[in-house]
Amino acid sequence: MASIQRVRVGSTYVYRPVGMDAWSPNPLAPMEGEPVKVINPHGCPPANTMGHCYVESIESGEFCGLVLCNSLTPIAEARGVAPAPHQVSSSRHS
């Protein structure tokens, strides 16, 4: 079973649609490869609830809607830079 990536509110990521984001794109969704910031709009479920989060465009500041957490790649990783030690996640496969 595939694991669900967790994201942090306020952090920036590159949007690379997977799963439902790729099959049934949201009209507000960012373009593939666009940098986005994870947000928690007032009155909405917090980021990582059921593997989803809300994002806004870094470039325009516009709300982009709800996306899968797995559609987001950390900026450093997307640029080929090794993540900082505190960003490294250990995954255990059973």
In a domain? residue 65: yes
In a domain? residue 67: yes
Q: Exposed, middle or buried: residue 16 (CB in 10 Å: 0-12, 13-18, 19+)?
A: middle
Please write the tens of the pLDDT for every residue from 53-83. Answer: 999 999 999 999 999 999 999 987 766 654 4
Question: In sequence order, what are the beta bridge partners of 15?
Answer: 72
pLDDT of residue 87: 41
Q: Exposed, middle or buried: residue 52 (CB in 10 Å: 0-12, 13-18, 19+)?
A: buried
pTM above threshold 0.75: yes
Which CATH number fits the domain that encloses residue 27? 2.30.30
Q: How many structural domains is the chain composed of? A: 1
In a domain? residue 86: no
**Secondary structure (3-state) at 55:** strand
Please write the tens of the pLDDT for every residue from 6-46. Answer: 999 999 999 999 999 999 878 888 999 999 999 999 999 99
How many Å apart are CA 13 and CA 56, to the nearest integer? 10
Range of the domain at 71: 12-80
In a domain? residue 2: no
In a domain? residue 92: no
**Secondary structure (3-state) at 28:** coil
In a domain? residue 5: no
